[in-house]
Amino acid sequence: MLLNGIILTLSAMAAVFGLFMLGWILFDVAIKGASAINWQFFTEIPTPPGMGGGGLANAIVGTLLMTIVATIIAVPFGILAGTYLSEFDRGGKLAKISRFLCDILVSAPSIVVGVFVYIILVRTLGNFSGWAGGIALAIIMLPVVTRTTEEMLKLIPHEMREASLALGAPYWKMMTGVIYRAASAGMFTGVMLAVARVAGETAPLLFTALNSPYWMHGMNEPMANLTVLIFNYAMSPYDDWHALAWGAAFMITISVLAVNILTRFILGRKRKAY
């Protein structure tokens, strides 16, 4: 009993310490970042150091574009891969290898992905680009979507598949109309978690999209983004750039928080519906 009480006490202290540190970080980001949020922050591009004013409109748009590109690439491939692993080759060699590689990619440092895309795309094409950044983020998203889709589909009872097929539905109709629909909440959660993860990635974009202080004219050029901008501005000696870095950090934090809250809300609604 004494040992059990000691372990419970230590566990509670660890949880309280973790929550305290998280709250401290969020409070600090909110206090220092909220003051930098204004209309110019969303409508203007950065100004040279020492001039004051300016905003991060180009970085916000660049981050959104690369995240959208990554989502368009990763989500269809991830859902199809997860479906194959769950429905067609659960115990096969290819499935085991795929799961192993997905687990490695999920836990691998994101900078490794950045270096890989740099060697394959940036050096080959001869320039940094938003496309390279989007592909790097898609590679990070892909294993998360794949594994989440597989696990959610495995939770659907086989009786639902058998009932649909017994009624004469073709396999593709059974998957899209019954199984995907039943697993939609969990699959959507996986997609949103993958988006939230890549929203704060910096290292892959340093090697692929780089950064730019100007408005982009296309995806085939270096593209401004919030995470690399935070890195550059936080390391600078200029107070006005520090303020913009705090504002960008606050915006990313709020965005990721909003995505997680939205995901939990939709998941809760789906559960009540069923």
Q: Render pLDDT for 23-39 as a digit per residue (tens, 0 to 9).
A: 998 899 999 888 888 88
For 92, list phi and psi in degrees, rounded to 5.
-75, 170
User: How far, rounded to the nearest angstrom, does the alpha carbon of residue 26 sit from its chain's CA centroid?
Assistant: 19
Residue 269 has pLDDT above 90, yes or no: no
Residue 81, in any domain of the structure: yes
Residue 31, in any domain of the structure: no
Query: Mean pLDDT throughout 46-70?
Result: 88
The set of residues, in sequence order, having a beta carbon less than 8 Å from that of 84 and lying 6+ positions away, is 95
Longest dimension (CA), the chain: 72
134 is written with which tokens? 């989007």
pLDDT higher for 125 or 266? 125
Residue 159, in any domain of the structure: yes
Distance CA 195, CA 205 (A): 15
Cβ proximity of 146 and 82 under 8 Å: yes
Residue 259, in any domain of the structure: yes
Distance CA 143, CA 153 (A): 15
* pLDDT, position 216: 87
* pLDDT, position 36: 85
- Tell me the residue range of the domain where 219 lies: 55-273
* pLDDT, position 55: 87
Residue 172, in any domain of the structure: yes
* pLDDT, position 272: 60
Q: How far is CA 89 from CA 81, 86, 95, 102, in A?
A: 10, 7, 6, 15
Residue 221, in any domain of the structure: yes
CATH code of the domain covering residue 179: 1.10.3720.10
Residue 161, in any domain of the structure: yes
Overall pTM > 0.85: yes
17 exposure class (CB count in 10 Å sphere: 0-12, 13-18, 19+): exposed
Query: Mean pLDDT throughout 182-197?
Result: 86
The set of residues, in sequence order, having a beta carbon less than 8 Å from that of 198 and lying 6+ positions away, is 67, 70, 137, 140, 141
* pLDDT, position 273: 57
* pLDDT, position 186: 83
Distance CA 57, CA 40 (A): 8
The upper half-sphere exposure of residue 174, i.e. CA atoms within 13 Å in the direction of its Cβ, equals 19
* pLDDT, position 130: 93
Query: DSSP assignment, residue 131?
Result: H
pLDDT bracket for residue 271 (50, 70, 90): low
Query: Mean pLDDT throughout 160-170?
Result: 86
Residue 248 has pLDDT above 90, yes or no: yes
For 179, list phi and psi in degrees, rounded to 5.
-70, -50
* pLDDT, position 120: 93
Sign of CA dihedral 123, 124, 126, 132: negative
Query: Mean pLDDT throughout 16-27?
Result: 91
Residue 172 has pLDDT above 60, yes or no: yes
For residue 104, which of 138, 142, 73, 137 has the smallest C-alpha distance?
A: 142
pLDDT bracket for residue 69 (50, 70, 90): very high
pLDDT bracket for residue 247 (50, 70, 90): very high
Residue 246, in any domain of the structure: yes
For residue 192, which of 87, 49, 272, 75 has the smallest C-alpha distance?
A: 75
Radius of gyration of the chain, Cα coordinates, nearest whole angstrom: 22
Cβ proximity of 229 and 242 under 8 Å: no
Residues 81-126 have pLDDT tens digits of 999 998 888 777 888 888 888 888 888 889 999 999 999 999 998 8
Q: How many domains does the chain have?
A: 1
Residue 52 has pLDDT above 60, yes or no: yes
115 is written with which tokens? 């270096």
Strand ranges (E), 176-228: none
